[in-house]
Every structure is written in C-alpha cells, then in structure tokens.
Structure 1
C-alpha cells in the first residue's frame, strides 16, 4: 500500500478548533461515541464480520524475510456491516509488523475466530482489498458490544450523509470555489500553483474544500507535487497522478489533515470517488461537535481527532 506516511496519528501539540462544516445542521447531528471508530469507519469501503483462514506457516516464513511477499487471506464472510461483500476476493496482507496495520501476532490470534474487518478497495484489476485506515484497529474481535457500536456508528453516518447540504457561508468558501474553478482550465505549473494555493489556505479551509470537492472534471495535467513535511522523508516532494479535480483535492486534504478516506489521489473508479467524498463529508460534519484537533509536533501537517 502506498502513502504510508499518512498514518492516522494521535499526537499532542497545538490545539485548534476548525470551522464547522454546516452549522444549520449542528443541533441535529449527534457526535460520535468513539471518534477513532468514526474515522476508521468513514475510511472503510467495506466492513464485514467473518473468519480469516490465515496460512500460519507461510506467514511466519515470510515475516522472517527482509522483503516479504503479500499474502492473500481468504475470508469466510458471515455478514456485511457496511458496503458490498468482497465475495471471493481475499484480503491482501503484508506480513511485516508496522504501526499502520494489524500485527502478525494479531492475525494469527484471530485466525478462525469471528472478527470484524475494516477494508479498503484498491484501484486495481483484479479487485484487491486491504485493511483500511492505516491503523491496527482495522481488525477487531467480533464481540457483541463492538458489533453493536459499529452498527450504531454506521447508522449515524448514514443520517449525516442523507442530510448533507453545502454551506456557502464557510470560511474561505468563495476563495476555494474560485481556485477550484481554475482547475481543468489550466495546466502544468499554473495548475500546480492552484493546488499550492489551496494547501496554503490551511486547516480553516478544510470544510470549504470538502464542501466543493465533488468535481469530476478532468485535470489537464495529471500530475501534482506537494511538499513532504515528514521528518524522515527520503524525498522533498510527494508526487501524485490525479485524473480528475476531485482526486487532486483529496490529495490536498490528505496533505493538510494527514487523513485519508480512500486512495483516489492517483485516480480511481466512480465508486471509489463516491466513497472518498462520503468519508470526507462525515469528517467535516463531525467538526460541528467542536472536537479538538492537534497539529502533530513533527513538522508535518497532520491533524488528529481527539476526544473533548
């Protein structure tokens, strides 16, 4: 999976409150009972309950290699909580312990047990599913309490999306709209400057960008580069190949917030773009809860949802 430097990271630092996404609906929107679960669910294309058939011997063998191969983990699906069933497609798993995915030991411990899998669908042929959200929380035991909490959060997010309206009173709304209007009209360096200007507007412009990101016009230049703020970065720029305006805006939002609600920064299908927009809208709506956001003290532009 690409973009490992976009991990959802809870960090302590300068706390700010972002502008709300649509204050007209603030009073009717319940806040998430679990902010981390809400973010993970919004970032997942599919959430299912099933049993993993983990090839224990091969996992242990691959884990010892400097560069292990991906494993295809078959799933006996019992029920679908969100999205469409992956039917016969296995889940792809990289057997190297890392903070952005379930550990090897967790995979082995959960093998054959009812588990909840939060999955994202990659833009590939054949279709491939991976654990979503860049977090080890993408795999949980399917106990009654957790399953109930997830169903409740799915219902909450569905209500948010059903009531979604664009709020043209948001900070930077007109400025963001004018910049987005130029995309699809300019190319090369001029297009890059538009994306740079959108990023430079910063955190307070995030709701306005989300409100106007559903723009499927093709970009004239299918390439953008954004500064890599990570201290351990091996290159100064993060390069993307977006096909449509919405793809480039998703890259900018990831750059500002450090979050990802679907990997469309390098293009995607209609369904993947629809899912990414839904995830960002849920994120924006939850800003109405006046949760605190924290800029990670690493020099990066990551924001992390924290409880009040």
Structure 2
C-alpha cells in the first residue's frame, strides 16, 4: 500500500459539503459511517489556517471521550484530510462553525508506516459533527448493534452464487487461473455480494499481486488495476467494484488489523442491506485506488 492509494482512498474526505447552519442531526446512514470508521471520538476541534492547496493537512483534536478505537487513545490527536481547492470554502465554513466546540469525529486508522495515522472516514461535513447527547446515544446504540452483528455472523450458504464463489476461490491461488477467478466473481454482479462476504475471511497469499477489473461503459478508463497481497484484499476490491462502497482500502494490501476491520464492516453492510437499511438512499460512492 502506498501514498497514492491513501490519497485516492481518502480523497473523498471533503468531496461533498453541506452548506448553511450545522444542525446536530443524526445522519441517515450512521450505520455506514460507523462501519467505515476505526475511531469515533468526542473532543474539541481547533481551527487553523488550512489553505486549500490540494494536499493533506492535519486537524488538531483535543479528545475528551472515545467511543470506538482499535487501541486506547487520549489527549491531543491529529486527523488528516485532503484539502481540495474546489471544496475549500465549504470546509472553512464548516470548520469555523465547529471550532472550539464539542465535536464528534469519525476517522480511519491507516497502518502503513509511510502514511500511518488517522484520516477522516468520509466527507468533511459528515465526518465532523456537533456533539449532542442524542447523536452520541445513537452512535453508542449503533456500535452495540454492529458488535452483535459481527459476533453472531454465520456464512449464508444459501446466498445466490455461493457455490460459484466457492468454486472460483478454489482456483484463485493458482497463478494461471487467478485473473480468471477475479473476472468470474466480478461477472456474477451485485447479487453475489452476500456470497462473497460470506467467504471473505480468507487470508491466503495470492501467487501474484496483479489484478484487473473492468469499469462500466463510459468510464474515463476501461479497466482499473490493483496489487492485492492476499485473497481478502482482492475480494474487497471486487466488492468495491460491484457496490461502489469501500470499507477500508486494502485493495493493494494492508495490515491484518485493517483486513479484519474490512471483513467485519462488510458483514455489517450485508446485514443492513438484507434488512432494508439502504431504502431511501444515503451513503457515498467509494473512490478508487491504483496499483502499487
């Protein structure tokens, strides 16, 4: 995994800004943002002079309460985001409204030593919210629900294309049939997502770190390339391709902690989709990574 990957994975942080007064409302797709996040915390955000120069900048955040984190955190933390010129004015407006006030922040932990750190888990406006007891209670409840979903998860062997996915996975560690297996799963379409997620906990090493997936007609590039190290990395890329959702960008490799977080988030995704959580919209299209 490299810095280019991180830029593209987190570039959506600030992609869609809300204007006007910032009301402390419970996000419609709170479950999705919660699943995307490694760290959810309450604290005080301090305004500093970010300049909109199309580069990563750091936010200072004085932590007062941790709701979710892969490891205990306390005190002052830094969270990075990509400050784009075209959304800079909206960023500053949102920033000034929340600066010095209790805020909720949703962040992804990147483990690659080259770019290690916390990054906003979504757009600037949805990843940093005014903190209220109502919003905090909703997050705590969602965290309990997601913990229960993951703990009680059972592979759905009756899911559409379960056997086809299993057959393709059986050949995925053969260098001669690896790409054919990738393409075969991609061709199954979005209906196969539950079957792929059911068999996603696969940490076998791939024979080659090369993967090609087809883009939809009219896309600016015909194909996209990835460099997955393990089977789970490749399955995450295929799921992203089929759903346009991303729960940790491990498509070019990652830490095993990131892989486990990705698997758990996709299990939450399948649960919510099956129970109608996607009705009425919400969520954002995932950004795409490049090969290593």
Please tell me whether residue 76 in structure 1 is matched to residue 82 in structure 2. Answer: no
Match of 1:121 among 109, 115, 123: 109
Bigger shift: 245-254 or 70-79?
70-79
Match of 1:39 among 21, 28, 32: 32
With the length of structure 2 as denominator, give the TM-score of the two structures.
0.81
- Structure 1 residue runs of 5 or longer lacking an equivalent are 10-32, 303-308
| Alignment correspondent of 1:210 | 197
Per-residue deviation, 1:291: 4.5
> 2:73 & 2:187 partners in 1: Cα distance?
39
> 1:185 & 1:264 partners in 2: Cα distance?
21
Residues paired across the two proteins, number:
263
Give the direction of change, closer, same or farther, for the CA distance of 1:230–1:278 in structure 2 (3 Å limit): farther
| Alignment correspondent of 1:2 | 8
Given that 1:69 and 1:94 are in contact with CA atoms closer than 8 Å, whether structure 2 keeps it comes out as yes
Matches within 5 A, 1:181-192: 181-187=170-176, 190-192=177-179
| Alignment correspondent of 2:18 | none
> 1:70 & 1:90 partners in 2: Cα distance?
12
Structure 1 runs of 4+ aligned residues shifted over 4 Å read 3-7, 85-89, 291-295
Per-residue deviation, 1:221: 1.1
Matches within 5 A, 1:241-260: 241-260=227-246
Given that 1:6 and 1:254 are in contact with CA atoms closer than 8 Å, whether structure 2 keeps it comes out as no
Please tell me whether residue 139 in structure 1 is matched to residue 139 in structure 2. Answer: no
Given that 2:247 and 2:265 are in contact with CA atoms closer than 8 Å, whether structure 1 keeps it comes out as yes
Given that 1:5 and 1:230 are in contact with CA atoms closer than 8 Å, whether structure 2 keeps it comes out as no
- Structure 2 residue runs of 5 or longer lacking an equivalent are 1-6, 16-25, 288-292
Please tell me whether residue 288 in structure 1 is matched to residue 274 in structure 2. Answer: yes
| Alignment correspondent of 1:196 | 183
Q: Name the structure, 1 or 2, with higher relative contact order (CA <8 Å, separation 6+).
A: 1
Please tell me whether residue 151 in structure 1 is matched to residue 144 in structure 2. Answer: no
Give the direction of change, closer, same or farther, for the CA distance of 1:192–1:206 in structure 2 (3 Å limit): same
| Alignment correspondent of 1:105 | 93
Per-residue deviation, 1:111: 1.8
Give the direction of change, closer, same or farther, for the CA distance of 1:186–1:230 in structure 2 (3 Å limit): same
| Alignment correspondent of 2:47 | 54
| Alignment correspondent of 2:263 | 277
Per-residue deviation, 1:4: 6.7
Equivalent position SS for 2:47: coil
